[in-house]
């Protein structure tokens, strides 16, 4: 017998012995484990990462919406009352903010809230006002900014069952967030109107 025939005979003998003794080939069992492993990777890693990425994207879009609304409102001529020169800062901020939210209906939010921040040059004291200034702006002693704040609720992409995971914001219930943005008000003399 030559060497090739001897190897073939040994291989046939080993495979027939394995069948009789109940031993299995390791390649066959790994083929059965692959679907379970892939399912675990998908459910345990991919779905939560997708949900987290979705919430992060929506929160970023909400932050940009607040920033854009305040940036547009900072160019207004008045703070609270519309005039012949145009809309007030409050109206502009509200319109821009609502226009952004219409693009992303999964974000539930209240209106944007505007405040005036008056910072004194000498002592760095900040005075916050929710309404117009009581007197004319004094730009020789103060810096005037407007700050907008929005409180929102972001729904999860895939809502999970709360009986299994409990109450987790962003996974089983909406995530509550708050964003603020500040801009220098370009027409400080209009802050008392």
- Model confidence pLDDT, tens digit, residues 101-141: 888 776 777 789 999 999 998 999 999 999 888 888 888 89
Whether the predicted pLDDT of 8 surpasses 70:
no
- Residues 55-66: pLDDT tens digits? 889 899 999 999
| Domain tally, the chain | 1
Q: Flag whether pLDDT at 10 surpasses 60.
A: no
| Residues 6 or more apart in contact with residue 141 via CB below 8 angstroms | 120, 121, 122
Instruction: Return all residues near 105 (Cβ < 8 A) that are at least 6 apart.
Output: none
Within a domain: residue 19? Answer: no
Q: Please give the angle made by the CA atoms of 112, 113 and 117, to the nearest 5 degrees.
A: 135
- Is residue 4 one of the residues assigned to a domain? no
**Given this model, what pLDDT does residue 14 score?**
52
Residue 148 belongs to a domain: yes
| Residue 184 located in a structural domain | yes
Is residue 57 one of the residues assigned to a domain?
A: yes
Dist. CA 128–CA 125, nearest whole Å? 10
Q: State the residue for tokens 């693009």.
A: 103
Q: Which range (11-20, 150-159, 169-178) has the least confidence? A: 11-20
Q: Could you tell me if residue 157 is inside a domain?
A: yes
Residue 104 located in a structural domain: yes
Helix (H) or strand (E) holding 183: strand 175-184
Q: Residue 52 and residue 157: Cα distance in Å, rounded?
A: 9
Can you give the residue range of the structural domain that contains 63?
A: 25-192
Establish if 44 belongs to a structural domain: yes
């Amino acid at each position: 017998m030559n060497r090739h025939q001897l190897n073939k005979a040994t291989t046939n003998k080993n495979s027939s012995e394995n069948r009789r003794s109940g031993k299995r080939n390791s390649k066959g069992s790994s083929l059965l484990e692959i679907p379970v492993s892939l399912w675990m990777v998908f459910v345990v890693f991919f779905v939560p990462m997708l949900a987290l990425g979705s919430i992060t994207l929506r929160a970023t879009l909400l932050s940009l919406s607040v920033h854009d609304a305040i940036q547009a409102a900072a160019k207004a001529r008045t703070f609270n009352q519309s005039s012949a020169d145009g809309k007030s800062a409050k109206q502009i901020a509200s319109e821009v903010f609502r226009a952004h939210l219409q693009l992303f209906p999964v974000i539930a939010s209240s209106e944007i809230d505007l405040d005036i921040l008056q910072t004194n040059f000498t002592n760095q004291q900040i005075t916050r006002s929710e309404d117009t200034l009581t007197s004319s702006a004094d730009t020789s002693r103060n810096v005037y900014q407007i700050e907008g704040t929005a409180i929102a609720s972001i729904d999860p992409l895939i809502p999970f069952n709360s009986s299994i995971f409990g109450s987790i914001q962003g996974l089983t219930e909406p995530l509550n967030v708050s964003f603020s943005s500040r801009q220098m008000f370009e027409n400080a003399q209009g802050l008392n109107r």
